[in-house]
């Protein structure tokens, strides 16, 4: 028989007590029987989908060298935390030549041409969403800068409250001054001078 990995998960102890994992196993077992798959189950109990510490999920990934034909779940939300997480995991499985089937999500079967097409469409939507978020973030940043909002590290100042000219620090360093001498020349502590030198990969001695 062809080997398939099956993953089931319950988010809470209440779900465990209500038999969520057992119902998932039954659904997967019935499907696997119809396809002639030999199942190896991996099961996490009371582990939220947002929880990155899912021991049996990690054990399953580390066991993929056993070369299962597919990974089967009852529902996608038992497997991935988000669309981007799902697509990343499916790409990882695909690189290993392993398919993915979600029994109760029609069309989610990467062993078929239609299933692969659907995932490509989902991937395109995910990329579109990322681009939209990046565009909104960029527009918001530009508007904030137009209002005078400053981003990045706060400017470095001297003891008198004057801004430290970073170019002046580099210029004095190029003249051979030590960090301590530069700080004395600019009337500031040595700490911001050292930071500027390190940021520009200049010697700090």
Statement: residue 143 has pLDDT above 80: no
The whole-number pLDDT of residue 85 equals: 80
Statement: residue 148 has pLDDT above 70: no
The whole-number pLDDT of residue 160 equals: 63
Statement: residue 150 has pLDDT above 60: no
Question: In the chain, pLDDT over 90 holds for what percent of residues?
Answer: 30
Cβ–Cβ under 8 Å, residues 106 and 96: no
Cβ–Cβ under 8 Å, residues 73 and 10: no
The whole-number pLDDT of residue 12 equals: 85
Q: Is 11 a catalytic residue?
A: yes
User: Quick one: tokens of 123?
Assistant: 């991937």
Burial environment of residue 101 by CB neighbours within 10 A (0 to 12, 13 to 18, 19 or more): buried
36 against 82, higher pLDDT: 36
Statement: residue 154 has pLDDT above 60: no
Smallest CA-to-CA distance from 45 within 7, 75, 82 is with: 7
Domains of the chain in sequence order: 2-112 (3.40.50.1390), 153-205 (1.10.10)
pLDDT tens digits, 96-133: 999 999 999 888 899 888 877 877 777 666 565 666 77
Give the model's confidence band at 175: pLDDT under 50 very low, under 70 low, under 90 confident, else very high. confident
What average pLDDT does the segment 79-86 reach? 79
- Say what the pTM is: 0.59
Whole-number mean pLDDT of the chain? 82
Cα dihedral angle (140, 143, 147, 153), rounded to 10 degrees?
50
194 against 72, higher pLDDT: 72
33 against 82, higher pLDDT: 33
CA distance 116 to 54: 27
């Amino acid at each position: 028989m062809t080997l398939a990995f099956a993953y089931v998960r319950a988010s809470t102890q209440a779900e465990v007590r209500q038999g969520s994992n057992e119902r998932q196993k039954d659904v997967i077992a019935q499907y696997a029987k119809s396809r002639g798959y030999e199942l190896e189950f991996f099961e996490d109990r009371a582990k939220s989908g947002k929880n990155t510490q899912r021991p049996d999920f990690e054990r399953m990934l580390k066991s993929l060298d056993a070369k299962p034909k597919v990974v089967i779940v009852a529902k996608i939300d038992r497997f991935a935390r988000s669309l981007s997480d799902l697509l990343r995991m499916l790409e990882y499985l695909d690189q290993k030549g392993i398919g993915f089937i979600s029994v109760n999500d029609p069309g989610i079967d990467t062993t078929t041409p239609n299933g692969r097409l659907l995932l490509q469409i989902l991937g395109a939507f995910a990329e579109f969403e990322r681009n939209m978020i990046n565009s909104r973030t960029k527009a918001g940043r530009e508007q904030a800068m137009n209002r005078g909002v400053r981003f990045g590290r706060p400017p470095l100042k001297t003891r008198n409250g004057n801004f430290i000219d970073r170019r002046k620090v580099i210029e004095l360093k190029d003249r051979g001054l030590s960090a301590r001498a530069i700080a004395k020349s600019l009337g500031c502590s040595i700490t911001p001078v050292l930071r500027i030198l390190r940021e520009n990969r200049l010697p700090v001695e």
